[in-house]
Structure formats: structure tokens, C-alpha cells
Amino acid sequence: MSTIDELKRDARAMGIAWRDVQDLADYLQEIDRETKGRDREIRELAWQVRCGGSQGCWGFWRHGFMKRDGRRYERGDQTAIPRYDIIHERVAAEFPEYSGDGGADRLFEFLFQPCERLLTRRQALADALTEMIEVAVPVPF
């Protein structure tokens, strides 16, 4: 992956203003946060309920279920997860897509999937520059 200095050099070579690349990267990161935001809220709420009042573990919401309860889940023993029913109840109250029949199964299937990372600044800049180059260079037919 290119460093930011290499990206700046490439932009300059293509005659693209670096400020424009940064603005597009900001926009790409905003879209990424909005797109992944709901999933992240669900994970964070579920983990906070799982931890109870122990705020010291709240920071592990991205991977906590896999680390603490992965074996139970893989064995099909997800109801043995601490606060299983309460987690489902609280999440379903705020996110109705997890209520009703099969809601708990859908929720825990989601919680045991890897959490998607947010777009890094360097990757956003690289994507923005690539997009700007594709727009600037006409495609031959």
C-alpha cells in the first residue's frame, strides 16, 4: 500500500489538487461510518448488556463475543452465553429486525461474525485518488 507521501506525489503528477483528494477522502470516510454505524451500535449495545455494570470490559465490543463465548456458540450452546435472553430483549427493543421468531438466532449469528473495520485515512486517501484518476483519464473505446 502506498504511503501518504507517495499518494501526494501521484496526485501532483496527475495534476490533481491534494485538497480535493482530502475532501473526497473525508466524504468516503463519512459514508463508511454511516454505512457501518448501525451494525456497530448493535454490537456495542449487545456487548454492554453482556458485560453488565462492568464498564471496564465495554471497550471490547468489536470482538468480545468471539473471545468470551466463541466456543459455546460453535458448539451450538448459545443459550449458555451470560445474559443471552436479556441481550436479545434489549437489542430487539431498539433494533426491531431482531425481534420475533428467529430474532435471537439472527442476532447472535450477526454478533459472532467479524466486525468490519472502518476505512483508514490512508485507504480513504488512496481510494479517493484512484477515483479521481479514473474520472480524469478518459477510457478508450
The DSSP-derived string for 82-121 is TTHHHHHHHHHHH-GGG-STTHHHHHHHHHTSPPPPPPPH
Per-residue pLDDT for 2 more than 90? Answer: no
pTM higher than 0.75:
no
Nearest one of 94, 2, 85 to 41, comparing CA atoms: 94
Say what the pLDDT of residue 140 is.
57
Alpha-helix runs per DSSP H in 1-141: 4-14, 18-51, 64-74, 84-94, 103-111, 121-136
